């Protein structure tokens, strides 16, 4: 309300009350001013109604919300459903212009401000997470795989004769597809088994680079966050190779922003060698719905080249979700989440070792993975350790991955992998990985172990039977076993027996 409106208000309610109300409003306006001025995460998170007021003001600045606006174009931010309008705070124009995803949209000052402010918040949060020397970043409304592809295509444009991507193996289909869909050729560098851990073979990488010729290589794509028993790549060593051979270095930091170990690796690699871009998922790091990514790097011109290669306008949805979430968290809230995650990682490790002891299993010795663990699984003589995964799934456990030791060859986008899922052709044992990612609670962990214990008991019981019966009739036995599993889990869910909490 302006001064005139306020003085009119004073005719309706006592002036002192109006003044006090106006002062409260000015405090919020001041908060908004400080935010727009500094474009950093506030120390303390904002209340929902404060964020809503800011968003309402921003959406008032978009042409589709102008009073009496008359649109005669083909894209006028028209919305049919009021539900959809409210879901987006009436911001309907998206972000960017046809030539650049970070360009300002003349019809939509409000949406453009959301985009610019979100990118600034993202830069700040990357610094808070540990990559202090990051120079520039932008939010892309595409998940990690597609965003990696966008980056590789931007590299490719600068190295038109190159077609190879040097890629330390990580068994994640979207990584492979990001290269194939970009029309590039993955060159797999197999991981080295060091103790229980899978680590980058930088010697094999250097040999491969020399063999192919650095000028024929679009980039090296490394990975930080990954499932144990794989460890984050040796970023520093790879960065030094990239610098030596003048090859772009792209880092898949999918959920690595939440781990100070991963961000430290990126920071150090950029300091001692070459890092061009690192990409991180919004949903995996910031507790927002799937659909967005942050593309970040150390050279603003390169980051701009990538943003310019995005064809057309883009959804503002992921930026808006991040904008709201970061304002709501504040830097204190974000730091607390990171700290809690670290505590939960330690707790998960302790509980996993106790679980291993009481079930006669072994936790694999993975020193370098700061987010997940792997536990060796009992080798069933009938080789059906993956049933454990199914049993966990029917008990509403999600995210635990059971990796069966196998010499099966899997083809992903035309690329063949032996023992796919294990990150290695012949990793010595079947194992299960569990992760302590941001947002996990102690209840998640405790409940998981209750259910996992039940699954293990059940697995051991049924597999003794299966060994005997399977000598007579393999197929029939399998069917019977599956029925047993289903009966058991149906019973569990009825009686609540699957649960102790
Ligand atoms: C999640 C993830 C991806 C794929 O991410 P999308 O967001 O689904 O494209 C790629 N690599 C790693 C290491 C991941 O964790």
Q: Are 79 and 67 in contact (CB under 8 A)?
A: no
Ligand 1 centroid–CA 147 distance in Å is 10
- The whole-model pTM stands at 0.91
Is the distance from the beta carbon of residue 438 to the nearest atom of ligand 1 less than 6 Å?
A: no
Distances (CA, A) of 78 to 23, 138, 314: 36, 26, 16
Question: Does the residue 259 lie in any domain?
Answer: yes
Question: Does the residue 21 lie in any domain?
Answer: no
Q: Within this chain, do residues 314 and 341 fall inside the same structural domain, yes or no?
A: no
Is the distance from the beta carbon of residue 175 to the nearest atom of ligand 1 less than 6 Å?
A: yes
Q: Within this chain, do residues 296 and 400 fall inside the same structural domain, yes or no?
A: no
Q: Within this chain, do residues 274 and 205 fall inside the same structural domain, yes or no?
A: yes
Q: Within this chain, do residues 272 and 149 fall inside the same structural domain, yes or no?
A: yes
Q: Within this chain, do residues 273 and 386 fall inside the same structural domain, yes or no?
A: no
Q: Kindly give the pairing relationship between strand 164-168 and strand 409-412.
A: unpaired
Q: Within this chain, do residues 169 and 235 fall inside the same structural domain, yes or no?
A: yes
Task: Write the CATH number for 384.
Answer: 3.90.1150.10
Would the pLDDT of 207 be above 50?
yes
Q: Within this chain, do residues 442 and 367 fall inside the same structural domain, yes or no?
A: yes
Ligand 1 centroid–CA 439 distance in Å is 18
- pLDDT exceeding 70 applies to what percent of the chain? 92
Number of domains into which the chain is organized: 2
Question: Does the residue 96 lie in any domain?
Answer: no
Structural domain boundaries enclosing 384: 336-495
Q: Within this chain, do residues 260 and 383 fall inside the same structural domain, yes or no?
A: no
The domain boundary, picked from 330, 352, 370, lies at 330
Query: How is residue 282 written in tokens?
Result: 């919004």
pLDDT in tens, 90-111: 999 999 988 789 999 999 999 9
Per-residue pLDDT at 464 = 56
Ligand 1 centroid–CA 145 distance in Å is 6
CA dihedral over 363, 365, 366, 367, signed as positive or negative: positive
Nearest residue to 148 via CA among 250, 236, 71: 250
The domain boundary, picked from 330, 360, 384, lies at 330
Would the pLDDT of 489 be above 90?
no
pLDDT in tens, 375-427: 999 887 776 888 999 999 999 999 999 999 889 999 999 999 999 999 999 99
pLDDT in tens, 445-474: 999 999 999 999 999 888 852 332 223 333
Q: Within this chain, do residues 413 and 366 fall inside the same structural domain, yes or no?
A: yes
What's the mean pLDDT in 275-303? 98
Question: Does the residue 97 lie in any domain?
Answer: no
What is the best residue among 140, 141, 142, 144 to mutate for testing ligand 1's pocket, by most ligand atoms within 8 Å of CB? 144
Ligand 1 centroid–CA 174 distance in Å is 6
Question: Does the residue 359 lie in any domain?
Answer: yes
Task: Write the CATH number for 156.
Answer: 3.40.640.10
Atom of ligand 1 nearest to the CA of 143: 7
What is the best residue among 250, 252, 259, 412 to mutate for testing ligand 1's pocket, by most ligand atoms within 8 Å of CB? 252
Question: Does the residue 46 lie in any domain?
Answer: no
The domain boundary, picked from 267, 299, 330, lies at 330
Q: Within this chain, do residues 290 and 368 fall inside the same structural domain, yes or no?
A: no
Q: Say which residues have a Cβ less than 8 Å from residue 84's Cβ, sequence separation at least 6.
A: none
Atom of ligand 1 nearest to the CA of 148: 9
CA dihedral over 227, 357, 398, 381, signed as positive or negative: positive
Q: Within this chain, do residues 267 and 173 fall inside the same structural domain, yes or no?
A: yes
Would the pLDDT of 494 be above 70?
no
Phi-psi region of 287 (alpha: psi -120 to 50; beta: other; left: phi over 0): left
Question: Does the residue 134 lie in any domain?
Answer: yes
Q: Within this chain, do residues 403 and 446 fall inside the same structural domain, yes or no?
A: yes
Question: Does the residue 104 lie in any domain?
Answer: no
Per-residue pLDDT at 462 = 86
């Amino acid at each position: 309300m302006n001064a005139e409106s306020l003085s009119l208000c004073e005719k309706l309610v006592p002036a002192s009350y109006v003044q006090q109300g106006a002062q409260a409003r000015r405090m919020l306006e001041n908060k908004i001013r400080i935010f727009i001025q500094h474009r950093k995460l506030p120390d303390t998170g904002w209340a929902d109604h404060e964020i809503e007021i800011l968003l309402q003001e921003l959406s008032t600045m978009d042409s589709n919300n102008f009073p009496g606006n008359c649109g005669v174009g083909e894209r006028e931010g028209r919305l049919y459903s009021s539900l959809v309008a409210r879901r987006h705070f009436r911001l309907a124009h998206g972000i960017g212009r046809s030539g650049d995803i970070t360009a300002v949209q003349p019809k939509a000052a409000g949406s453009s401000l959301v985009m610019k402010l979100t990118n600034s918040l993202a830069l700040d949060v990357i610094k808070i997470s540990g990559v202090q020397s990051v120079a520039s970043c932008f939010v892309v409304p595409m998940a990690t795989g597609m965003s990696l592809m966008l980056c590789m295509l931007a590299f490719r444009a600068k190295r038109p004769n190159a077609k190879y991507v040097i890629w330390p193996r990580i068994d994640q289909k979207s990584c492979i597809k990001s290269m194939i869909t970009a029309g590039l050729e993955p060159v797999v560098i197999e991981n080295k088994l060091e103790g229980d851990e899978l680590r980058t073979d930088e010697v094999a990488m250097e040999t491969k680079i020399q063999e192919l010729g650095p000028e024929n290589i679009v980039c090296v794509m490394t990975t930080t966050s990954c499932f144990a028993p794989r460890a984050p790549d040796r970023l520093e060593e790879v960065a030094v190779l990239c610098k030596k051979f003048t090859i772009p270095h792209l880092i898949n930091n999918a959920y690595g922003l939440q781990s100070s170990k991963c961000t430290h690796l990126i920071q150090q690699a950029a300091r001692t060698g070459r890092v061009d871009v690192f990409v991180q998922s919004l949903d995996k790091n910031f507790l927002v719905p799937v659909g967005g990514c942050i593309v970040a790097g150390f050279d603003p011109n390169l980051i701009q080249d990538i943003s310019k290669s995005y064809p057309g306008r883009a959804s503002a949805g992921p930026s808006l979700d991040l904008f709201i979430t970061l304002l709501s968290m504040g830097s204190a809230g974000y730091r607390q989440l990171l700290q809690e995650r670290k505590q939960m990682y330690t707790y998960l490790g302790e509980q996993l070792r106790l679980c291993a002891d009481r079930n006669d299993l072994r936790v694999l010795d993975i020193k370098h993975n700061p987010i997940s663990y792997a536990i060796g699984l009992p080798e069933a003589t009938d080789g059906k350790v993956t049933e454990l995964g199914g049993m966990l799934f029917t008990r509403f456990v999600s995210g635990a991955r059971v990796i069966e030791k196998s010499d099966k060859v899997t083809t992903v986008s035309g690329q063949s992998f032996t023992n796919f899922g294990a990150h290695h052709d012949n990793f010595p044992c079947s194992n299960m990985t569990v992760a302590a990612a941001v947002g996990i609670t102690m209840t998640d962990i405790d409940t998981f172990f209750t259910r996992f214990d039940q699954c293990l008991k059940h697995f051991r019981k049924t597999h003794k039977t299966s060994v005997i019966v399977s000598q007579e009739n393999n197929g029939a036995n399998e069917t019977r076993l599956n029925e047993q599993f289903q009966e058991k889990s149906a019973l569990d869910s009825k009686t609540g027996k699957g649960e102790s909490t």
